[in-house]
Structure 1
Amino acid sequence: MSMLITGIGELVTGDPAVDGAVEEPLHEGLGVLRDAALVLGGGGEDSAPVVEWVGPADRAPAADWSIDLEGRAVVPGFVDSHSHLVFDGDRSAEFAARMTGQAYDGGGIAVTVAATREASDLRLRELVQRRVGEMRAQGTTTVEIKSGYGLSVEEEARALRLAREVTSETTFLGAHVVPPDRRDEGGRAAYLDLVCGEMLAACAPHARWVDVFCEPASPHAFDGEESRRVLEAGRDAGLGLRVHGNQLGHGPGVQLAVELGAASVDHCTFLTDADVEALAGSGTVATLLPGVEFSTRQPYPDARQLLDAGVSVAIATDCNPGTCYSSSMPLMIALAVREMGMTPAEALRAATAGGARALRRTDVGRVAVGLRADLAVVDAPSWLHIPYRVGVPLVRALEV
């Protein structure tokens, strides 16, 4: 059955060449249609509805049934390409400590590991589903979920198995940190062997990606050569590559990601001119996580420098219990505009099409015939209200 959606005050298609697009600087590159309509129907390979027609409301074809959005705006569903949703426990006291001057170095991850290992499958499943529901209530329709709070063969595989129940975008992050009981020289080497061997073998069937926290500035994370070994092992196992890089200081993360052809390098807080140049000449997306800087009081990444250099940029939440316990992509858009030098249009593109590029997806992040009907409705006449009315719950995924 087909469904006609009418009464769309503004429709952000993501295609600036779409017929009838508004030519105004505020909407640059977004392919905005006013007084628009959509027809959804059919089903893709996974039976998800797809867009069958898009255009002016006065030219809309008939459909089996219809809904009227009464002048609300519609945008592509947000693509959150970086999150850590499989966890239990509470680290609010750690946040409070940072707000009074304590620096973040990654060590608090061990607290979450202990709590997550104690949780039952039922408990973790309920928590993940609740968090995904929270994201959808704020307009996110595609989410990537990492492991990384198990740090054992059994626990990492369990995390990915549970994540796979809610998304196909699952990432093996056994190389999140070195477990506290393995931080001596011999234990560290043995853990790396485990990550690249038995743990990877157990996790690869449940994962699409492999990731590593490449951060020489942290004693808990991994240096360049250790990170290379993890990524190459994951690649040999058939997984795509992602990198946590350059979050706490200058380091090799960005250069390693570009060299190995990673889909994205995430954080990118501390970059050299050479890092920016490498990203600009590559297919690797720089995924920025402004909620982390908000929650840790670190400097924000310079999105303006990246965009002006021609780097492909995405925005994601990094929703996790330690450095950004927020599932709100609208908040990330507002922070990107206010703190990182992005225009509203650039920030919206980064949260939709940019996230899709970071996941190497061509079926989401835009509104076009044949693509998934992953849409978000804004309870306002213009998409500009997303960063304009920061903190107000205006955006929700359209359930079809």
Structure 2
Amino acid sequence: MTTLITNIGELTTNAGAVPDAVGRAAPDATDFVPDAADLCGTLHNAAVLVEGTHIAWVGPADATPEIPGGYEHVDAAGAAVIPGFVDSHSHIVFAGDRATEFEARMAGEPYAAGGIRSTVAATRAASDEQLRHRMRTLAAELYAQGTTTIEIKSGYGLTVADEERIVRIAREITPEVTFLGAHVVPEEYADRPDAYVDLVTGAMLDACAPHSRWIDVFCETGAFTTEQTRRILTAGINHGLTPRLHAAQLGPTDAIPMAIELGAASIDHATHLSDSDIAALAASETVVTLLPGVEFSTRQTYPNARHLIDAGITIALACDTNPGTSYTTSMPLCIALAVREMGMTVSEAIWAATAGGARALRRTDIGIVTPGARADIVLLRAPSRTHLAYRPGVPLVDAVWRAGSRVR
């Protein structure tokens, strides 16, 4: 399938310059490169050519190359185009509902990690087909709002069989699957947490590793200690998985240096970082993934993204879609919250939701609009990306292409 999108008023490429077309003679586009100071690599009056699953050419709308054979022509009518969002943190394989818990928090009850166990009970009782249906329903919501890459974590089964089926089902729609058997200690191990760690690092990991790319731990008071976390992440590494970490959401932690030492791809939540944590992260390749939907839902303090960015830390934004603390599939909402509440500029938030998410997943083929990248493209019903924050709650996604196929 070949698609040519023309008359793009504002194109966000996230590229420092537009490379020559792949497999074609590029038109004379000497001046058609983004300003090096422009984080989003913005181009105006642009066009994008998609061939198959990848982008073949990016250039001026009035200098599109000849295209042999038939193709679909899409006139953007001066609207904005951005890369598909890369959501690097979600929990969309689960059963049940925690609306009552949300209502209680809105009435003043504080959030605590133990609420996860109610979702565990519902998920254990659900059939594979019920879990699959919920996952696909939420994935469709994500796609409709411009997300084209989804990471999915386990963590709502907490038995060998239930964790294995969660990662197996998640793998049906994404290669970005994370084993999170260490989400919380389940009720049956409440008095034996180290025995549960034995299970996670033993039979559970053996069953889940073949379906997973990543391993994660919720390292917080009420969940797992730093030493337990090290043990679990190390076991995952020995099974070929790359570590990620939930940390510093509920309070300060001493786990950040350990996670960096183990090569963690990202630290997620990261609200309560010390100055030494920030310095260590800035000197590392570890991404900090911020989840503003969580603070919206829990009334906790928003992390200071401005402080982290100014320190030189790479930021990703994700929805953290889950039934307890962030039951949203809207990356545009998270962008608006990041701009309004976390000190990010619009360009920083858009970059974090696209290229930043790709960095958190250690991917170079997504989160960008440039020749050779996967053709994940979002056409907005707006003249600029700023409208995603400027018009919060308004459905501005007009069309979505995922790996070259139109999904909206």
TM-score normalised per structure 2: 0.93
* Mapped pair 1:104 → 2:106: no
AA of the residue aligned to 1:194? L
1:62 maps to 66
1:162 maps to 169
Which of 187, 193, 197 is residue 192 of structure 1 equivalent to?
197
Counting only pairs closer than 5 Å after superposition, residues 82-97 of structure 1 correspond to structure 2 as 82-97=89-104
Measure, in 2, the Cα distance between the counterparts of 1:145 and 1:397: 20
2:265 maps to 263
1:272 maps to 274
2:4 maps to 4
- CA drift at 1:180: 1.4
Which of 209, 228, 231 is residue 229 of structure 1 equivalent to?
231
2:242–2:263 Cα contact (<8 Å) kept: no
Which of 29, 34, 39 is residue 29 of structure 1 equivalent to?
39
1:78–1:329 Cα contact (<8 Å) kept: yes
Structure 1 segments (4+ residues) deviating >6 Å: none
Secondary structure of 2:302's partner? Answer: coil
1:175 maps to 182
Secondary structure of 2:348's partner? Answer: helix
Measure, in 1, the Cα distance between the counterparts of 2:361 and 2:305: 19
Measure, in 2, the Cα distance between the counterparts of 1:72 and 1:3: 17
Measure, in 1, the Cα distance between the counterparts of 2:396 and 2:2: 26
1:207 maps to 212
1:46 maps to none
* Mapped pair 1:302 → 2:304: yes
Which of 129, 139, 144 is residue 136 of structure 2 equivalent to?
129
1:84–1:146 Cα contact (<8 Å) kept: yes
AA of the residue aligned to 1:149? Y
- CA drift at 1:105: 1.3
* Mapped pair 1:384 → 2:386: yes
Secondary structure of 2:209's partner? Answer: helix
TM-score normalised per structure 1: 0.95
Gaps of 5+ in 1: 43-48
- CA drift at 1:16: 3.1
Structure 1 residues 288-347: Cα deviation after superposition (integer angstroms, max 9, x where no partner) = 001101111110101111100100110001110000000111111111100001000000
- The total of aligned residue pairs comes to 387
- CA drift at 1:23: 4.7
1:144 maps to 151
1:245–1:252 Cα contact (<8 Å) kept: no
Measure, in 2, the Cα distance between the counterparts of 1:153 and 1:335: 37
AA of the residue aligned to 1:336? A
2:17–2:34 Cα contact (<8 Å) kept: no
Secondary structure of 1:326's partner? Answer: coil
Cα RMSD for the two superposed structures: 1.3
AA of the residue aligned to 2:54? V
AA of the residue aligned to 1:167? T
Secondary structure of 1:107's partner? Answer: helix
Structure 1 residues 105-163: Cα deviation after superposition (integer angstroms, max 9, x where no partner) = 11111100011111111111111011000001000000100000000000000000110
AA of the residue aligned to 2:50? L
Structure 1 residues 193-221: Cα deviation after superposition (integer angstroms, max 9, x where no partner) = 00000000000000000000011x2x2x0
AA of the residue aligned to 2:190? R
Secondary structure of 1:266's partner? Answer: strand
Identity %: 59
1:247 maps to 249
* Mapped pair 1:72 → 2:79: yes
1:355 maps to 357
Measure, in 1, the Cα distance between the counterparts of 2:132 and 2:77: 37
Structure 1 residues 32-77: Cα deviation after superposition (integer angstroms, max 9, x where no partner) = 11111111113xxxxxx10000011111113331221222211000
Measure, in 2, the Cα distance between the counterparts of 1:164 and 1:321: 20
Secondary structure of 2:167's partner? Answer: helix
2:23 maps to none
